[in-house]
Structure 1
Amino acid sequence: MTIAERIVARHLPQQGFKTGLCKAMTMALLVATPFGLQAKVDDSLTYEPVAPTIDQARANILIARQLQFTHFRELGISDELSGDVFDAYLEYLDGQKIYLTQQDLNQFQRVRMQLGAALKTGQLQPGFDIYNLTQQRIIERLKFALGLIDQGIDQLDFSTKESMLLDRSDANWEPNQKALDALWIKRVKNAVLAQRLNGTDDDTITENLRRRFEGQLKRAYQARSEDAFQAYMNAFTGMWDPHTSYFSPRTSENFNINMSLSLEGIGAVLQSDNEYTKVVRLVPGGPASKQGQLQPADRIVSVAQGDEKPVNVIGWRLDEVVDLIRGPRNSVVTLEVIPANASDETITKAIAIKRDEVKLEEQSASKDVIELQRGDTDYTVGVITIPTFYADFQAMQAGDPNYKSTTRDVRNLIKELEADGVDGLVVDLRNNGGGALHEANDLVGLFIDKGPTVQIRNANNDVQVLKDEDPSVAYDGPLVVLTNRMSASASEIFAGAIQDYGRGLVVGSQTFGKGTVQAVRPLNHGQLKITQSKFYRVSGGSTQHKGVIPDIEIPSRIDKSRIGEDALDHALPWDQIEAVPHNRYFDFSGIIDELRQRHEERFSTSPEFSLLQQEIDFLQAQREMDSVSLNFEARKTQHEQIERTRLSIANARRELRGEEPFATLEDLEDWQDQQAADLNTTDDELDFVIREGGHIMADMLELDRRMVSIVAPKQYTAKASAQ
């Protein structure tokens, strides 16, 4: 008898429900009991349905009012919005469509268009009914998976030609529990197969999967009213834009701790992503950033303290995951993550990070010098790397005349570089997620005599123009600004202003597109982070959604379809307002085609770029895989091909540096672990993108010697068109 035939052997016990659910939802729970395997779990546990509180209802009413009357986007609560909230809520609760069935959804249809009216008046029960049924279905699915494991994973058949869809977000809901059973057999088979291919024995696989599913099951039984409320409110607030969100009282506490920078941890910003906790960005200078292995869009599967066994955190609340990762300085936490570029969720990687404080001095701007030999001419290029836009507000408020800030530090670095006789300057803003707005404004002022730097429009269409009022200029030579997809907010303001003024060239990849401003407003219960205004460049175009488009583009490993404002649901659109008068220091239109041609010629013969493009193509092929084979031989062949490619790319990079290649992938991974463990390891050779920025700067000088000083001779003053 096959596993598929065994699943009808006995019923899962129906869990009891207390009063409080509406009659229709109660009936849905009673009639949709699935057939499945009996897991060896504690059957004395029952799911206790959660119910809304009076405080939550009041907070809901306040949230609805603030969204309608103070948010930047004008959006009424309509029947259409009600349906969108319904869909977003289901996506949050079951985004991969692995718990609920179409039969379950049919029970919800009658409330689909009623949620909006209910949310206006604090009637939360419909949302809680949906949440309670989903939790019950999660429990049933996890018991089914545990039942499969109890039967023995050696009973699973890996000789068929089955395959499994990797991303089910756009798939249809399974029609009934029988179809869902078949799907979950595939999910368990996929998890077993992935671990077998990594050399894990069946006993360990069984232990790993049991620990994972039991941990999720425990969390499902421990659902709280606040979990349902926060999920429901964020589905609601997310209709206005992805940066507007509700913070429960507990989440508010974590948010305030993070904003004060007093947190000892790993230096990563996290958010909930369906049942996972996802890395949004790394704090510059923080332990995770310095360790180098954790990346944005990685999803955390488990957390281990020191040498202890890992705790599976799939399905955990965000605040609980944060508590688990947070810890005393110099202690080690190990995160098991699904890498952002993994072909499926069964591929994980363990990353050990030593906790520490995020120190301001480690976020500071730094400088370097590179020498370029071009024919008979040598160029000295200054490089200033700015990880974030920072200011020591405490020292500033205390009246310390030497307080640290981005602009002050960069001004001093420019003086040192000019003393070194640099011919031009490269400012590296890659991975700079923003920071203090006034620092972006002041930093622009180091490169222009004076003028507007950014426009800010609020919900009432009032426009505030920030300006550099200081006529002094710290640097008047040729300038290149490097950006990538992780350059956001204040970085985009600086890069956009430099581009609009014709003060320098932007080189790299399209920036994030975060062009909105949020404010945190207290509620009677928790807080509301709400978008209240929008950034616009001096040329009139918004940095929102579109970001800054580089003058010369360099491809990046970062997946734009997953990271960036335009990858987020309900992001505010790009638009433009009237430009403000500003100087235009140089018109690059006469030389930009030649600059691009020279750049492309260099890259066409560059082994570093060839290797980068090979890696991008490899990652893209991984991302484009929409299904995975459940046949052992076919999967093994695919797995070995992926490993060979990874090893080939790593060894090609080592050969460029004159280093010995690795014999096996295990050798590569051991070396990576050793490098990550040593936070003092540095790479003395600046990456080739920075060097290319220097070459572009040299090209600028060769094509037009007026760039020796492009601030003094202002070309013209105009209302430039939007970029």
Structure 2
Amino acid sequence: MRHNSLNKRISMKHTLTRSALALVISLVALPASYAMSKAQQWDYLQPDRDQMIASLNVVELLKRHHYSKPPLDDARSRKMYAGYLKMLDPARVYFTATDIQEFNRWETQFDDFLKSGNLKPGYAMYNRQLSRQDQYLDYALEKLSKGVDAIDFTLTETFETDREKAPWAADEEALKDLWRKRLKDQILRLKIANKEPKAIEELLTKRYKNQKKRLQQTRSEDVFQTYINAFAQTYDPHTTYLSPDNAENFDINMSLSLEGIGAMLQSDNEHVKIVRLIPAGPAEKSKLVAPADKIIAVGQGQKELVDVIGWRLDEVVKLIRGPKGSQVRLEIIPASNAPNDMTSKVITLTREAVKLEEQAAKKSILNLDQDGRQVKLGVIEIPAFYLDFKAYRAGKPDYKSTTRDVKRLITELQDEQVEGIVIDLRNNGGGSLQEATELTGLFIEQGPTVLVRNSDGRIDVLTDDHEGVFYDGPLTVLVNRLSASASEIFAGAMQDYRRALIIGGQTFGKGTVQTIQPLNHGELKLTLAKFYRVSGKSTQHKGVIPDISYPADMDINEIGESALPEAMPWDSIKPAIHLKKDPFQPFIAELKQRHNARTNNDPDFVFSRERLALNQRLQKDTLVSLNEAERRAEYAKIEQKQLALENARRASKGEDLLKTLIKEDEDDQIIAAAAEKDAQKKPEDDAYLAETGRILLDWLKLSPMASR
């Protein structure tokens, strides 16, 4: 989210002194014991003067302008060291305990290295990782050359898949045994995903050869960007360094969400994960992908798919990006798969720009029965907070905006004599801060809408200056985990002003503001402000907690601000308003009781609760068997549990039962038919939306204040 008053670039006033430059040039020498013959092929990777100066500028900018301004000391050095190790070796399959013992001498020195411009230790650690990764690829290729069938899958042994906190391999022999088990696990996953041995051999051989080729193309800039980001992201996950190439492509990369497939992507160890789908984008409209899906291959049109496991995020983005109207194929592992299930599907999307009119707010009528009486409620779905800035700045009277559209829709719904309105903000990732403020103004008399605290402690108050309330009738706001940023500001204001019941899932929790600062070499995106609700509560980390909660439709440990490392904490400041008496509080317990009574046996609510519970249990089972018969038996049990959950839901709704779970490419027609059926659904068919309407009706019946 950007706002004119917050999106100013900081002028670069901090230049390096002659003494600082001298420190850059006279680097601290590495210990003689650090010379490694195995890593000599990477000796060409060395920092240059521009990178050293850029690192000093990053240190100075963060010191002066980051929102938190934490000290650069030994504690931050330890944090940076841990983060850098995780970046280089997240699964702990490349470094040994001996390596770590050697690196540990620097654990409390990275603050000093950064202050003096010494980048050598960071390069040395990166080079060691490259050397080990190259060794692993050679090892895997040598094993694969003997054929998959030469590997014994009858042995009784196990492999720990979640190695984030696993002990480091004692030595290189232990490391090679770990590599053996890792390769065996990868092959076994593909075998259980119905890949033939020869196809597995060809797939992995090609993957590893491509990775080896990409290793040889590693540039000094790749090392520098990783190292500086290990430092920058100790401040918060949104503070990042962009290399000159990535800085040049930054706006293009961001426009991937608007003129590509319509998906925001994020690195997830060796995979690239979909974090959010842009409303009305190709991916969202296709109904073929979902948040937390992993992209494992990309193809242009009908050309061969390129395996992208182990690729950097920016490299994958470049493959996905392309001319508007062209097709891209993605091979994805659905988030709905059980953990360790590598079954994938290939989908085709047509790249296109997201048109403003397709993101526009739209209305529908929710028809519900209450005590034998048909009741009409209005629903306004807002996919994004949009504003046609170009037309607005040009002074055109008919410029398009969220607030203008919602005003028109409210008038139309009132003409249809609805008894209340539901604002649907599910999956709304935000947008214009100005529109969040103006939309809030439609439902309150007048007053503050959001507070912005800057790094110097100054608090700016954004307000609705229009007198009067456009709509003062019964109101609920429906949110979920993907309701973010501007959505959280609006929902938080509605909750704080006691204007609406907030219903659904805990929102995303992004409550910070970033700006781009150009450097002598690349750019720095840094966090310089934080949003607060008018109650003084931050939207950061916690997001907005609903008054009545629904089962999560995704794992909040996987998606959301709190799922990101070093996310800034929740806090509060002095409120901007004196909260009036809460008209909902006396009835919340009764509303929850009625809601629970309705949904305890509702097939969609039961399915959501039980599927999430199953996935969370499976996530904890990280020790897998490398015995094929045992592994297949484990997988069959998981598949049966998933199938039983799906069929229980179908049986409750009177739908045909499935014999097997739909996963394979040949089921594309079934998936397309399901998407078409989904498009024809009535508002009443949406279990969460219908239940939100019923809660609103309960409120209308219980409270005399509600029938204004």
Query: TM-score under structure 2 normalisation?
Result: 0.91
CA distance in 2 between partners of 1:229 and 1:478 (Å): 55
Structure 2 residue aligned with 1:373: 369
CA distance in 2 between partners of 1:392 and 1:447 (Å): 22
How far 1:449 sits from its partner (Å)? 1.4
Aligned with 2:318 (options 320, 323, 342): 323
Deviates more, 1:630-639 or 1:45-54: 45-54
Does residue 701 of the first structure (1) align with residue 700 of the second (2)?
yes
Distance 1:239 1:247, change over 3 A: same
Structure 2 residue aligned with 1:210: 205
Matched residue type, 1:399: G
Does residue 389 of the first structure (1) align with residue 388 of the second (2)?
no
Distance 1:495 1:280, change over 3 A: same
Q: 1:182-224: per-residue Cα shift (whole Å, max 9, x none)?
A: 1111111112212222222111010011111112111111111
Deviates more, 1:230-239 or 1:377-386: 377-386
Does residue 685 of the first structure (1) align with residue 645 of the second (2)?
no
Distance 1:377 1:558, change over 3 A: same
CA distance in 2 between partners of 1:629 and 1:469 (Å): 64
Aligned with 1:54 (options 49, 66, 77): 49
Query: Is residue 93–residue 274 contact of structure 1 (8 Å, CA) maintained in 2?
Result: no
Distance 1:23 1:54, change over 3 A: closer
Q: 1:501-556: per-residue Cα shift (whole Å, max 9, x none)?
A: 11111111111111111111111111111111111111111111111111001011
Gaps spanning 5+ residues in structure 1: where?
A: 1-19, 34-44, 710-723
Does residue 642 of the first structure (1) align with residue 621 of the second (2)?
no
Structure 2 residue aligned with 1:90: 85
How far 1:655 sits from its partner (Å)? 4.7
How far 1:680 sits from its partner (Å)? 6.5
Distance 1:313 1:363, change over 3 A: same
Deviates more, 1:622-631 or 1:652-661: 652-661
Query: Is residue 555–residue 612 contact of structure 2 (8 Å, CA) maintained in 1?
Result: no
**Mapping of 1:282-681 within 5 angstroms?**
282-340=277-335, 342-344=338-340, 346-582=342-578, 584=580, 586-655=582-651, 658-666=654-662, 670-672=666-668, 675-676=671-672
CA distance in 1 between partners of 2:258 and 2:510 (Å): 25
CA distance in 2 between partners of 1:170 and 1:23 (Å): 28
How far 1:226 sits from its partner (Å)? 1.1
Does residue 173 of the first structure (1) align with residue 172 of the second (2)?
no
How far 1:293 sits from its partner (Å)? 3.1
CA distance in 1 between partners of 2:447 and 2:667 (Å): 51
CA distance in 2 between partners of 1:707 and 1:323 (Å): 53
How far 1:440 sits from its partner (Å)? 0.7
Q: Over aligned residue pairs, what C-alpha RMSD do you find?
A: 2.4
Structure 2 residue aligned with 1:225: 220
Matched residue type, 2:489: I
CA distance in 2 between partners of 1:664 and 1:569 (Å): 38
- Tell me, what secondary structure is at the counterpart of 1:356? coil
Structure 2 residue aligned with 1:160: 155
**Mapping of 1:71-220 within 5 angstroms?**
71-220=66-215
Distance 1:202 1:106, change over 3 A: same
CA distance in 2 between partners of 1:673 and 1:89 (Å): 45
Structure 1 residue aligned with 2:236: 241
How far 1:585 sits from its partner (Å)? 7.0
CA distance in 2 between partners of 1:696 and 1:190 (Å): 48
CA distance in 2 between partners of 1:318 and 1:210 (Å): 22
Q: 1:43-74: per-residue Cα shift (whole Å, max 9, x none)?
A: xx954631112211111111100111111112
Query: Is residue 557–residue 615 contact of structure 1 (8 Å, CA) maintained in 2?
Result: no
CA distance in 1 between partners of 2:483 and 2:182 (Å): 37
How far 1:148 sits from its partner (Å)? 1.2
Does residue 252 of the first structure (1) align with residue 252 of the second (2)?
no
Query: TM-score under structure 1 normalisation?
Result: 0.89
Aligned with 1:67 (options 57, 62, 69): 62
- Tell me, what secondary structure is at the counterpart of 2:339? coil
How far 1:161 sits from its partner (Å)? 2.2
Q: 1:211-258: per-residue Cα shift (whole Å, max 9, x none)?
A: 111121111111111111111111101111111111112222332125
Structure 2 residue aligned with 1:10: none
Deviates more, 1:395-404 or 1:527-536: 395-404
How far 1:674 sits from its partner (Å)? 5.2
Deviates more, 1:103-112 or 1:628-637: 103-112
Gaps spanning 5+ residues in structure 2: where?
A: 1-26
CA distance in 2 between partners of 1:351 and 1:416 (Å): 39
Deviates more, 1:363-372 or 1:322-331: 322-331
Does residue 29 of the first structure (1) align with residue 29 of the second (2)?
no
Query: Is residue 189–residue 341 contact of structure 2 (8 Å, CA) maintained in 1?
Result: no
Query: Is residue 344–residue 663 contact of structure 2 (8 Å, CA) maintained in 1?
Result: no
Structure 1 residue aligned with 2:262: 267
Query: Is residue 345–residue 665 contact of structure 2 (8 Å, CA) maintained in 1?
Result: no
Distance 1:164 1:28, change over 3 A: farther
Query: Is residue 444–residue 498 contact of structure 1 (8 Å, CA) maintained in 2?
Result: yes
Distance 1:26 1:211, change over 3 A: farther
Deviates more, 1:363-372 or 1:329-338: 329-338
Query: Is residue 390–residue 439 contact of structure 1 (8 Å, CA) maintained in 2?
Result: yes
Distance 1:282 1:474, change over 3 A: same
Q: 1:302-358: per-residue Cα shift (whole Å, max 9, x none)?
A: 212223222122332322211111122333322223444541274544333222222
Matched residue type, 1:71: H
Query: Is residue 48–residue 221 contact of structure 1 (8 Å, CA) maintained in 2?
Result: no
Query: Is residue 434–residue 489 contact of structure 1 (8 Å, CA) maintained in 2?
Result: yes
Deviates more, 1:253-262 or 1:401-410: 253-262
CA distance in 1 between partners of 2:341 and 2:245 (Å): 29
